[in-house]
Amino acid sequence: MGKMWWQNSLSVGIDLIDNQHKQWIQYYNDTVEAVATQKSQAQVMKTLGFLIDYTGTHFATEEHHMAESKYPAMAEHKAKHDELRSTLAGLIKDFEEEGVTPELNKALETFLGNWLIQHIHEIDMKFGAYAKQEKIVIS
Ligand code: FEO
């Protein structure tokens, strides 16, 4: 499971959202570190908990601003968030039952790491473009 780093190509053009993505990456990296260094189950659980809580905060922020700005593709965007919310709930359950397994490790990388990058590029960018086009100020 590898760490990830912020790059300008991930910017959606909205500082609030970019900053949340940066924080999300930090929590993700903290989880990677805890798993890689074989921290105790309680410590891994703590970092995973921060990551999952922050994911919820971030999704709620985006959904709030999409609703406020009457973003036409909000339903599609929110559906992607809901998919990940469900996946995260499953990961936590697996971790509570089995601890850090190779499957969990892979799932963290695949579902979280790859998902976030792909989601930003394919989904969040569209909202950023809409906000720019409509001259919507988000702060
Ligand atoms: Fe930045 Fe749609 O999550």
Is the CB of residue 37 less than 8 Å from the CB of residue 58? no
Instruction: Tell which atom from ligand 1 comes closest to the C-alpha of 59.
Output: 3
Residue position matching structure tokens 């720019």:
132
User: Rounded to whole angstroms, how far apart are CA atoms 131 and 135?
Assistant: 6
pLDDT band at 83 (very low <50, low <70, confident <90, very high): very high
Residue 132 CA to ligand 1 center (angstroms) comes to 16
Tokens linked to 15 = 């500082």
Residue 10 CA to ligand 1 center (angstroms) comes to 11
pLDDT, average across residues 34-60: 89
Residue type, 88: L
Which residues approach ligand 1 with their CB closer than 6 A? 21, 58, 62, 77, 81, 119-120, 123-124
Residue 63 CA to ligand 1 center (angstroms) comes to 9
Q: pLDDT > 90: what percent of the chain?
A: 57
Length of the chain: 139
pLDDT band at 54 (very low <50, low <70, confident <90, very high): very high
pLDDT band at 108 (very low <50, low <70, confident <90, very high): confident
